[in-house]
Each structure stands twice: as C-alpha cells, then as structure tokens.
C-alpha cells in the first residue's frame, strides 16, 4: 500500500510541494511585485486543477494547503480550503471540452489563483479574525492572478507530471 | 457547476468537513498539531536553507532593480537624520543614565534589567495577510511564547511560536496583536511668577540656587545698510551672531568700539535698540505626563495600529498628535512597562461610549527589520505563581 502511495501522485506531489514551499518562504517573500507576495502554492493548486480536472485539483490544493499551514503557522486547514477552491475553480476548464491552448490554461490558472487568494480573508473572517479586508486586497488579487498566469507554463506541466496524467492527444476520428 | 457529479459533490463535502474539523481542533489548541508543526519545520529547514542559497542571486538582482533609487533617497535622508540626531543623542544618553540611576536608587525595575536575546530575521511571512517573521533564536536560547520583541527603535511584536532554534514573531501590525499601552505627552509647566530681585533673607537672586531652566537667546540682526560694517565683517573677531545674553558682552570681543551701546549715535537711541536686538526667553524643560492607557491593536500591513479603549481625561488634558506611546506593563501584561511604541498620528473621537481612538505610527520600521531583541520577560503574575 505504501509502495502504491509512493508510486502514485502522492509520491510526486509531496516532494514537489516541499520544494515549492521552500521557494515560497524564501524567494517569493523577497520578490514582491507591487508589495504583494505571489502565491506559488495557490498557483500550483490551480495548475493541478487545469491539468487534472476539478477533483484532482481540489485534492492537490487540499494537500498543498495543509503543508502551507504546517510550514507557516497559519490556522491548520485554512489554506486547504482556499487552495482546494483554487484547484476546483481552475479545474472547471475541463468542462469546456475543447483543446487546451496555453493561454486558456493561463487564464484558468489565473482565475483559480484569484479566487483562492480572495478566499483567504474570507476564511480568516469566518474563523473570527478581524480587520482582514483592506483596500490592498484590490492589488493583491490581480497581482497574484497575473503571477499565477505567468507561472502557468511551468506549473501546468509540473502538475500534469505530479498527477500522473499523460498529455492529451487529439485524434482525428476515422471516417 | 451544473454538471458536478454526485461523486464530485461528495468529495467537495468531504474535504470541506475535514477542513472545518481540522480548523476547529487547531483553533482550540491541539498538542498533536503543534508537534506536527515542529516536525514539519524541522523537515523544511534544510530545504529552506538550500532555497535561500540558490535564490539569493535572483533576490539580489530583483532588489538591485527595484530598490536602488529608494536606497539612494534613504541614504540621503538617513545622513540628514544622523547629522540632526548627533547632538540629541548625547543629551539622550545623559538622560538615560540619570533615569537608570534614579530607578536603581528607588529599587525600581527598568528595561535594562531584563535579560534579552539578540536575534536576526531569517524569514518573512509568505502570506499577504499575516504579519509574522521568523528569527534565528528559539527555545534553546530561553525564548518562550509570548515574550516581547523589540529593536533599537522600540516595540516590534511578540513571540507566538517557539522551535528549538527558531521562533515566529507576530509583528505589532498583525490584526491579532494587542498590548496594553499608555499615552504620554510633553507638558510645559506653568511659568512661575517673576521672583523679586531679593529674597527675604536679603540675598541677591544670583546668590540663590534655583531650579534648572533652559535659556534660549534669539538675536535679530540689525538691518544691514550697504557700506556699513556687517557683523560678519568684523576683523576683530567679535561674535558675529551676537548670541550672548543681553549685556553679557564677551570680554575683549569688541575692542574696536563697535558695541552698539557705545556708538556715536547713541544719544539718538537711548534704549540701545539701534544695534542687534536681543530677546531672551526662559522656558522650563518639558515634563512627560501620562494621559491615558488603552489597548494597541494591529490593523494590518498598510494601516497604522490603533489604540482603543481610551478616554481622554479633561483633568490631564487632551491627547494630541505627536504624543508618545509606550507599553503600560501590569501584572498580567506580557510586555514590561516603558517600551517605546510610537507616536500618535491621528486622534479619532467616537461618539458615545466608544471613546477616543488613536492611530499610532510605530517607532520601529517593521518593513526593514534585520536584528531584534527578545526580552526574556515573564509577567509578574506568572512569576509569582
């Protein structure tokens, strides 16, 4: 069973998440465009959703969120909710049933990341934290979304690899 | 979302419930989760160190691009500030020494008596909401949860999580941060009535020791008429500023006979107003008066922390912009008294029982933290128990 877990998506997702979390807590806290911390893990959760659909995106987001909360001291599972939501929203691209172009993937990764980031203060408000909504949120959400879109060419293939998903091949139906 | 399958809905519900369960358990305080965090921090530590090393060139390049102009401006501003503060520093040091001596004399506790651990910032908050930094000292150095963190400028925050070799510090701007503070303002004592020339014993005023006062002498230079001697042109070395108290002509400063009182036109100017007009004002040193206490709460990264539960006491006077704020201390307080917090920037009057609210600009620049001191302070109530 353990071997199956290691060989499955979990065996790839966890090490990748550890590396991404290390980057999130080092590189991305120093490199802040417009004073906003780009959310690498939220973007990756959204990318996993684009690559694998809403369920896998949500599960990946849940796991990534747990690791983020454990690593940063945030209330446990608060980021699981937001990143899971990011994966779910971004994964809805698969409902379109069309070929995924890079710009479409980038757009849905951006959408998922934006929804996920907006959900952070909402979740914090629900669990009793005060003064979580500020005008800065109008800057944070678009910048996080654009950052996620720019990172999507790297993150979507990485998400596909982590979730053991082969590249979609479109075949011309036989006449 | 219309085509969400039943399995998908179940999955969403399952994850949602799991999250809510975990959140509830964590917010109530759970030893297992705390241990898991400690373990995860231990696992992540080498990865973070490696990431820091690998990404340093990229971070430095980013900073070079984005912060160069700011850095130059900051350098010029700081240089100006350093020049301005050199004089004040000497006076402040003397005041601190006197203060410490007085406290020691009266057997009172002071900040200098509290042992501290110096730490450097090794990580910033990866979230856009939390105002938390990581320092490189932890439980092995005696740090405990709740201890106040300061830097040279004043209060920075408090320790919220302690690992063996690192700790998380919640900054004073975090919305969850709160500490009891007191508002102090400078009050100039009322001018005493002019003393008589002699005291009852018949001694001259100059023979009697009086309380210390600060004397400021302002000299308005005489309007310069072209062709006449300008003060600075005096080759005899007479004081060009004339910054001496009235009638206190420095001996030998005026051998050339430029003394206004001795001018040829003196008869036309019986009051001696033809020369530089010397105005002497005497002011007593300002006294710090405690106005009111309240609770300082963080308001997030871009908003000033706010002091609430303040009621301005008319007997003590109004709280004004520029009044200083420092920690109030107390039996239950996690912070000792008299840590400088900042200055009042806005006074907001609320109607009814809401009272006055104050926006406080922190003395410590929390955006540029490098080194901090953790005061190994435990509240009096905890020590006694």
Write out the two tokens for B322.
């520029």
Is B137 inside any structural domain?
no
How far away is chain A from the Cα of B168, in angstroms, using its nearest Cα?
8
Note the pLDDT tens digit of each residue in A129-143.
Answer: 888 888 888 999 999
Q: In terms of residue numbers, what domain contains B337?
A: 178-190+285-368
In a domain, B315, yes or no: yes
Confidence of residue B315 (pLDDT cuts 50, 70, 90): low
Is B308 an interface residue toward A (CB < 8 Å)? no
CATH number of the domain bearing residue B307: 2.40.10.350
Does one domain contain both B55 and B184? no
**Average pLDDT, rounded, for chain B:** 73
Positions of chain A with pLDDT under 70: 1-2, 4-6, 167-175
CB B219 within 8 A of CB B276: yes
Please check whether residue B167 lies inside any domain of the structure: no
| Domain encompassing residue A56 | 2-28+36-161
The mean per-residue pLDDT over the stretch B244-253 comes to 40
Across the range B91-109, mean pLDDT stands at: 72
b/e per residue, B28-56, with b = 16+ CB within 10 A?
Answer: eeeeebeeebbebbeebeebbeebbeebe
Residue A43 is predicted with a pLDDT of 96
Do B35 and B183 belong together in one domain? no
Does the residue A173 lie in any domain? no
**Residue B233 reports pLDDT greater than 60:** no
Q: How many CB pairs under 8 A join A and B?
A: 141
The per-residue pLDDT for range B210-232, each reduced to its tens digit, is: 444 444 444 444 444 444 444 44
Give all strands (DSSP E) within B82-213, no chain letters.
116-123, 132-135, 148-150, 155-162, 167-171, 178-187
- Mean pLDDT for the stretch of residues B44-49: 90
Q: Give domain status of residue A53, yes or no.
A: yes
CATH code for position A122 = 1.10.1760
On whether residue A45 sits in a domain, the answer given is yes
**Do residue B184 and residue B308 come from a single domain?**
yes
Domains held by chain B: number: 2
Enumerate the residues of chain A whose CB falls inside 8 A of the CB of residue B176.
129
Answer yes or no: is A109 within a domain: yes
Q: Do B55 and A62 touch (CB under 8 A)?
A: no
Is residue B9 over pLDDT 90?
no
From chain B residues 57-76, the ones with a CB under 8 A of any chain A CB are 58-59, 62-63
Q: Residue B375 has what pLDDT?
A: 92
Average pLDDT over residues B92-113: 72
Residue B340 domain flag: yes
Query: In the structure, what pLDDT confidence band is assigned to residue B107 with cuts at 50, 70 and 90?
Result: low
Find the residue in A nearest to B30 (Cα). A76
Domain boundary among B108, B137, B166: B108
ipTM above 0.85, yes or no: no
| A103-107, B104-108, B141-145, B204-208: the lowest-pLDDT one | B204-208
Is the pLDDT at B278 greater than 60, yes or no?
Answer: no
Kindly identify which residue of chain B lies nearest to residue A60, measuring between CA atoms. B15
* Interface mutation target, options B127, B175, B367, B370, chain A, most CBs of A under 10 Å: B127
Tell which of B108, B124, B159 closes a domain.
B108
B185 and B42 both lie in a single domain = no
Number of domains in chain A: 1
Residue A131: predicted pLDDT: 81
On whether any CB of chain A is under 8 Å from the CB of B14, the answer is: no
B184 and B325 part of one domain? yes
For an interface test with A, which of B2, B7, B13, B15 has the most A Cβ atoms less than 10 Å from its Cβ? B15
CB B222 within 8 A of CB B258: no
| pLDDT band at residue B382 under the 50/70/90 scheme | low
The answer to whether the Cβ–Cβ distance between A62 and B15 falls below 8 Å is yes
Please check whether residue B128 is in contact with residue A140, taking contact to mean a CB–CB distance below 8 angstroms.
yes
Neighbours of B271 (CB within 10 A): 5
């Amino acid at each position: 069973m353990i071997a199956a877990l290691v060989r499955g998506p979990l065996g790839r997702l966890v090490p990748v998440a550890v590396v991404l979390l290390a980057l999130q807590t080092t590189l991305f806290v120093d490199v802040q465009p417009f004073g906003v911390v780009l959310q690498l893990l939220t973007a990756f959760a959204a990318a996993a959703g684009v690559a694998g659909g809403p369920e896998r995106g949500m599960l990946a987001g849940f796991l990534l969120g747990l690791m983020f909360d454990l690593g940063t001291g945030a209330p446990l599972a608060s980021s699981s909710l937001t990143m899971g939501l990011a994966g779910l929203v971004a994964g809805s691209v698969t409902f379109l049933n069309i070929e995924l172009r890079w710009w479409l993937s980038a757009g849905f990764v951006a959408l998922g990341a934006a929804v996920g980031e907006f959900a952070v203060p909402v979740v914090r408000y629900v669990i009793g934290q005060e003064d979580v909504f500020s005008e800065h949120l109008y800057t944070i959400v678009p910048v996080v979304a654009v950052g996620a879109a720019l990172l999507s060419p790297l993150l979507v293939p990485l998400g596909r690899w982590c979730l053991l998903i082969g590249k979609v091949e479109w075949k011309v139906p036989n006449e | 979302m219309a085509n969400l399958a039943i399995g998908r809905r179940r999955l969403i519900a399952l994850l949602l419930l799991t999250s809510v369960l975990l959140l509830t358990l964590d917010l109530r305080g759970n030893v297992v989760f705390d241990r898991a965090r400690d373990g995860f921090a231990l696992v992540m530590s080498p990865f973070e160190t490696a990431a820091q090393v690998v990404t340093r060139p990229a971070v430095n390049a980013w900073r070079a691009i984005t912060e160069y102009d700011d850095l130059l401006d900051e350098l010029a501003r700081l240089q100006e500030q350093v020049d301005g503060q050199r004089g004040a520093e000497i006076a402040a040091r003397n005041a601190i020494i006197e203060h410490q001596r007085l406290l020691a004399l009266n057997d009172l506790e002071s900040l200098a008596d509290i042992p501290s651990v110096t730490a450097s910032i090794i990580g910033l908050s990866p979230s856009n909401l939390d105002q938390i930094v990581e320092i490189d000292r932890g439980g092995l150095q005696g740090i405990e949860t709740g201890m106040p963190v300061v830097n040279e400028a004043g209060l920075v925050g408090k320790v919220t999580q302690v690992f063996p070799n690192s700790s998380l510090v919640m900054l004073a701007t975090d919305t969850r941060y709160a500490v009891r503070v007191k508002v102090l303002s400078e009050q100039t004592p009322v001018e005493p009535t002019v003393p008589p020339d002699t005291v009852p014993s018949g001694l001259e005023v100059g023979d009697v020791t009086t309380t210390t006062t600060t004397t400021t002498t302002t000299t308005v230079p005489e309007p310069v008429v072209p062709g006449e001697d300008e003060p600075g042109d005096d080759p005899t070395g007479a004081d060009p500023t004339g910054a001496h108290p009235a009638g206190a002509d420095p001996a030998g400063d005026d051998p050339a006979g430029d003394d206004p009182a001795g001018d040829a036109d003196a008869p036309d100017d019986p009051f001696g107003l033809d020369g530089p007009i010397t105005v002497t004002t005497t002011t007593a040193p300002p006294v710090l008066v405690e106005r009111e206490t309240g609770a300082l709460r963080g308001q997030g990264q871009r908003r000033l922390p706010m002091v609430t539960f303040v009621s301005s006491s008319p007997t003590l006077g109004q709280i004004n912009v520029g009044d200083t704020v420092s920690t109030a201390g107390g039996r239950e307080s996690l912070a000792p008294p008299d840590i400088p917090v900042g200055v009042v920037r806005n006074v907001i009057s609320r109607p009814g029982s809401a009272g006055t609210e104050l926006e406080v600009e922190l003395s410590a620049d929390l955006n540029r933290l490098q080194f901090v001191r953790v005061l190994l302070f435990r509240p009096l109530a905890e020590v006694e128990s």
